[in-house]
Amino acid sequence: MAKDKKQNRPKALTPKGFRDYFGSEVTERNQMLQNIADIYHSYGFEALESSAVETVESLGKFLPDVDQPNEGVFAWQEDDQDWLALRYDLTAPLARVYAQYRNELPTPYRRYSMGAVWRNEKPGPGRFRQFYQCDADTVGSSSIASDSEICMLLSDALENVGISEGDYIIKTNNRKVLNGVLENMKVQEVSKRDAILRTVDKFDKVGETGIRQLLGKGRLDASGAYIDGVGLSDSEADLVVAFLTSRGTNIETTLKNLKNLIGTSAVGIEGVNELEKMAELFDAGGYGSNKISVDPSVVRGLGYYTGPVYEAELTFEIFDEKGRKRQFGSVSGGGRYDDLVKRFTGQVVPATGVSIGVDRLLAALKEKGRIAHMGLGPVVVTVMDRDRMSDYQEIVTELRNAGIRSEVYLGNPKNFGNQLKYADNRRSPAAIIQGTEERDSGTIQIKDLILGKKLSKEASLEEWKDRPSQFTVQRDQLIQKIREILSAYK
């Protein structure tokens, strides 16, 4: 008789470039997002949840490759008609939403949005195909005050999640100033301008020498591969580098340096004037240069920015995987994009906004110890007698009605030790024990699991006697005693 063929089973593996988030990670992220949302809401921004799927036509030319709609995004064709794609950021959907509902929405429209985005690109260490963003945007206002407000909002949001003053800096610049420099250099080709933008955005990674090489003939990267340069002459590269390094000891000096670089360029002068106005508004709002500064090295690589651009950089040091000290770096960026909605309406609709990288900011908070790596789990009601499940259900209901997170152990209750191991794995602060003897006497036992673990590692036998981690109380004192335990670990 022939043997049955071995059944092919799917491999239990997370797809490459994706990851799973478990209890405490989800709780930590949600808590951080709520703290950010509190600031956004206090500024008058309204929440928006847009569709996770857009037409590729809506995503438009800002795809990595417009001629191949399935390149750079996760896309599919719908019934031989429209190409659809998972959103790759939260800004492109906003442009579509505003164009679609502009007659119903207030102008300016101030919205914030939080959620997952997807990019079909090569994954790497710390680089995933699905990640979270947290955006705030103002659509319909050309006032430079709306750009200043975004920077101030970003500063407040960082502090509200636990990034202290001195551990971050909001750096702002204006693309019009760089355009003025390029105009002064007589660079007119759009492709060449875009190439310069993409190159100077790497300034913080490759430094002045690397930028000069990339603006010129090219350079070898860390892997040994040769990267072609933009092809500027040495004198042209000098002007671009002078722009990137024009930050002075104060805003006034920086603006003076920029004016010298733009010459008579009208667009450049407009950009410097906008930076001056933003600086005035920062000062009026009480945001000194220790929080928000003008920094010409911030240019932002995306081609759709049309005016002010900004980044939030965390300035504290961490150790990389090789044990070397380095600054944590950027966790947020944005700017003005006055032409994005125009694709739908045919009319210029001014807009400005910022996006926070949720995973990077959460990692920064953990690095600073501002978020506990492990939150408390539920109080576990152990099962001493499986025939008394109704009694245990009564106990857990009482705990929940008192606002205490709790659960009844639902595994096999035969081995009591396994129940306590389960409670430990759940990071439970306490376990509740009531056998027949305790029930008949109207009492209940409570085991402080956190204290018990600590004492078992640190305490002497005498300390165990003075500070018992397991004790018996009257049944009607259960809620009071559990609250006392929980309050010690907040």
Strands (E), 300-409: 308-319, 325-336, 351-357, 379-381, 406-408
Tokens found for residue 380: 């576990």
Pick from 143-157, 410-424, 447-461, 472-486: least confident = 447-461
User: Taking 50 as the threshold, does the pLDDT of residue 476 lie above it?
Assistant: yes
User: Taking 80 as the threshold, does the pLDDT of residue 375 lie above it?
Assistant: no
Angle between helices 389-401 and 478-487 (to 10 degrees): 60
Q: What is the pLDDT of residue 93?
A: 94
The 10s digit of each residue's pLDDT in 101-128 is 999 999 999 999 999 999 988 887 777 8
- At 201, give phi and psi (nearest 5°): -70, -10
Q: Are strands 379-381 and 351-357 parallel, antiparallel or unpaired?
A: unpaired
Q: Taking a C-beta distance cutoff of 8 angstroms, is the pair 352, 340 a contact?
A: no
Q: Which CA distances in Å does 332 have to 31, 157, 158, 311, 361?
A: 18, 11, 10, 6, 8
User: Taking 70 as the threshold, does the pLDDT of residue 269 lie above it?
Assistant: yes
∠ Cα 450 453 456 (to 5°): 145
Per-chain mean pLDDT for the chain? 87
The 10s digit of each residue's pLDDT in 313-347 is 998 877 666 666 677 888 999 999 998 888 899 99
Closest of 29, 49, 285 to residue 156, by C-alpha: 285
All structural domains of the chain with their residue ranges: 379-487
User: Taking 70 as the threshold, does the pLDDT of residue 258 lie above it?
Assistant: yes
User: Taking 80 as the threshold, does the pLDDT of residue 481 lie above it?
Assistant: yes
Q: Taking a C-beta distance cutoff of 8 angstroms, is the pair 333, 311 a contact?
A: yes
- Contacts for 300 with CB less than 8 Å, ≥ 6 apart: 175, 201, 309, 311, 333, 334, 335
Q: Determine the distance from the C-alpha atom of residue 215 to the mean position of all C-alpha atoms in its chain, rounded to a whole number.
A: 31
Q: What is the pLDDT of residue 5?
A: 67
Count the alpha carbons within 13 Å of 439 in the hemisphere toward its beta carbon.
14
Q: Name the residue with tokens 């640190």.
A: 458
Q: What is the pLDDT of residue 58?
A: 85
Q: What is the pLDDT of residue 321?
A: 63
Q: What is the pLDDT of residue 63?
A: 45
Cα–Cα distance measured from residue 173 to residue 69, given in angstroms and rounded to the nearest whole number: 32
Pick from 271-280, 326-335, 387-396, 444-453: least confident = 326-335
Counting residues of the chain whose pLDDT is more than 70, the rounded percentage is: 92
Mean local confidence (pLDDT), 207-228:
82
The 10s digit of each residue's pLDDT in 48-99 is 999 999 998 888 654 444 445 456 888 888 877 788 999 999 999 999 999 9
User: DSSP assignment, residue 125?
Assistant: T
Q: What is the pLDDT of residue 431?
A: 96
Cα–Cα distance measured from residue 312 to residue 361, given in angstroms and rounded to the nearest whole number: 10
Cα–Cα distance measured from residue 213 to residue 219, given in angstroms and rounded to the nearest whole number: 6
Q: What is the pLDDT of residue 288?
A: 92
The 10s digit of each residue's pLDDT in 223-255 is 778 888 888 888 888 888 888 888 888 888 999
Higher pLDDT, 209 or 286: 286
Counting residues of the chain whose pLDDT is more than 90, the rounded percentage is: 53
Cα–Cα distance measured from residue 172 to residue 147, given in angstroms and rounded to the nearest whole number: 10
Tokens found for residue 112: 């914030």
| Backbone angle region of 337, left / alpha / beta, with phi > 0 → left and psi within -120 to 50 → alpha | beta
- The b/e string for 100-126 (b: 16+ C-beta within 10 A; e otherwise) is eebeebeebbbbbbbbebbbbeeeeee
* Fold for the domain defined by 379-487: Rossmann fold (3.40.50)
